Amino acid sequence: MKKASYKKNIIKQLYFAQTLSCAEISEKIGKSLPLTTKTVNELLNEQVIVENGYAPSSGGRRPLTYSIKAGVLYIVSIAMDQFVTRIAIMDMHNRYVTPVEKFDLVLAKNTGALNTLADRINRHISASGLPKAKIAGIGIGMPGFIDVGKGINYTFLEAPVGNIPSFIGKKTGLSVFIDNDSSLIALAELRFGAARQKTNAMVVNIGWGVGLGLVLEGKLFRGYNGFAGEFSHIPVFDNNKLCSCGKKGCLEIESSLSAIVEKGARGISDGQISILQDRLQTLDTENAFEEIIIAAQKGDQFSVELFSDAGYNIGRGVAILVHLLNPEIIVLSGRGSLAGKILRAPVQQALNELCIPRLSANTEIDISVLGYEAELIGSAALVMENFENNVKHTNTAGEILSNVTAEGK
């Protein structure tokens, strides 16, 4: 490993842990303490990292700890669903340095979506005033069947030339990394959220579909082609309803946010009493969901019932996975997790009814504290997961990144 890779690996480890001592860094990068100390001192001299005070006492001499210096590196983070895209620039402590930009971008049957995305990224970076030399890369979470190795989304965003990362990379001059939205939500939970320090976890992404991120043996599991976690399309119901995938009876039909909106509008039309009356029919899917969740949080009985039914149906699917994987924790994450305990109780009820008690007795159900931000945080984490092997950004390296990537002065 060259000196540049040592430095980038140390920055990567500090990003995920936020604060580490030399001994802890040495253990994480698998290098000797003298070499680690030497490299840390170089990063201090280059003003890439800073001393962060002494670690708590454990009985001996307290070691100095280090963190990444503010303003050294940034990440462009993008979270996409089928209808809306969010862009933000984040620092090395997952703090927004630009307001989250939210705009409509329909992905289905939209041949110009990728060009639109690239243009919006460039505009967002330009408006931030940050030099591209300080941007470590662009991370994008998106729905669909994504082959991370090939950089292809087989469902949306077909690149006119090359693949998605190369197309946007050429447009922006930055390294680009893509992954499935549910995988990145699981990555965020594993690194910074409810699944941190958990060995086996299932992260349910409750959105317009119902995705799943799997943490197995402490690592994100993507499957052979990266398609693991297509939870939406488990055939749970015998209801003769056609799913967007072309199959019948999929979990998505009865438990996604789209299903909640559809059932809400139908219920109001059929005469259900609710504070939502005369409001849902005039709204698009995005705004209709916002109204339903606000109503549920206010205690509207009909809205609470919509989420309770969806939660129980999600629990039916989760029960199958509990029998297969015996997870330590199930994290309800993504946009739908904003419903909080309204969802957790019916998921637990389904597990109580459908799981063998010995299998589910020690499985915890938790609501994500990252919530709707999880995908943005996961997209940033994706860039840093690949940071030590990312060489493209040296093409635009300025003063700071040239220090990070230099082979020594």
Say whether both 105 and 226 belong to one domain. no
Q: Report the percentage of the chain scoring pLDDT > 70.
A: 94
Say whether both 210 and 315 belong to one domain. yes
Q: Say whether 131 sits in a helix, a strand or coil.
A: coil
Q: What pTM value is reported for the model?
A: 0.90
In a domain, 220, yes or no: yes
Residue among 285, 282, 346, 269 at smallest CA distance from 104: 285
In a domain, 243, yes or no: yes
Q: Which of 68, 83, 101 marks a domain boundary?
A: 68
Q: Which of 11, 37, 68 marks a domain boundary?
A: 68
In a domain, 219, yes or no: yes
pLDDT digits (tens, 9 = 90+) for 27-84: 999 999 999 999 999 999 999 999 988 877 666 678 899 999 999 999 999 999 999 9
CATH code of the domain containing 30 = 1.10.10.10
> What is the torsional sign of CA 6, 7, 11, 14?
positive
How sure is the predictor about 404, in pLDDT bands with cuts at 50, 70 and 90? low
Yes or no: say if 396 and 170 are a contact pair by the CB < 8 Å rule: no
- Supply the pLDDT for residue 59: 63
Query: Across the strands, what pairs with 180?
Result: 142
Distance of CA 60 to the CA centre of its chain: 39
- Supply the pLDDT for residue 409: 39
Report how far apart, in Å, the C-alpha atoms of 195 and of each of 32, 127, 144, 190, 227 are: 30, 35, 23, 5, 21
In a domain, 211, yes or no: yes
In a domain, 409, yes or no: no
Q: Which of 68, 87, 102 marks a domain boundary?
A: 68
Say whether both 210 and 332 belong to one domain. yes
Q: What is the mean pLDDT of the chain?
A: 89
Q: Which two tokens stand for residue 298?
A: 């206010």
Yes or no: say if 268 and 305 are a contact pair by the CB < 8 Å rule: no
Q: Please give the angle made by the CA atoms of 98, 76 and 173, to the nearest 5 degrees.
A: 125
The whole domain housing 24 covers: 3-68
Q: What is the mean pLDDT of residues 232-238?
A: 87
Q: Which two tokens stand for residue 108?
A: 């289905």
In a domain, 295, yes or no: yes
Q: Which two tokens stand for residue 47?
A: 């003003």
Residue among 16, 381, 378, 380 at smallest CA distance from 205: 378
Say whether both 97 and 232 belong to one domain. no
pLDDT digits (tens, 9 = 90+) for 255-292: 999 999 999 999 998 889 999 887 777 788 888 999 99
Q: What is the mean pLDDT of residues 240-265?
A: 88
In a domain, 189, yes or no: no
CATH code of the domain containing 237 = 3.30.420.40
Say whether both 277 and 388 belong to one domain. no
Which string of DSSP letters, residue by residue, matches 188-218?
HHHHHSTTTT-SSEEEEEESSSEEEEEEETT
Residue among 53, 78, 327 at smallest CA distance from 198: 327
Residue among 212, 232, 220 at smallest CA distance from 190: 220
Beta strands 201-206; 329-333: pairing state: parallel
How sure is the predictor about 163, in pLDDT bands with cuts at 50, 70 and 90? very high
Say whether both 211 and 357 belong to one domain. yes
pLDDT digits (tens, 9 = 90+) for 364-389: 999 999 999 999 999 999 999 999 87
How sure is the predictor about 230, in pLDDT bands with cuts at 50, 70 and 90? confident
Counted domains in the chain = 3
Say whether both 111 and 243 belong to one domain. no
What is d(CA 189, CA 368) in angstroms, rounded to the nearest whole number? 8
- Supply the pLDDT for residue 67: 95
Say whether both 98 and 221 belong to one domain. no
> What is the torsional sign of CA 78, 79, 82, 85?
negative
pLDDT at 398 over 50: no
- Supply the pLDDT for residue 237: 86
Q: What is the signed CA dihedral for 275, 277, 283, 288, rounded to 10 degrees?
A: 40
Say whether both 174 and 295 belong to one domain. no
pLDDT at 212 over 70: yes
pLDDT at 392 over 80: no
What is d(CA 202, CA 31) in angstroms, rounded to the nearest whole number? 32
Q: What is the mean pLDDT of residues 301-316?
A: 95
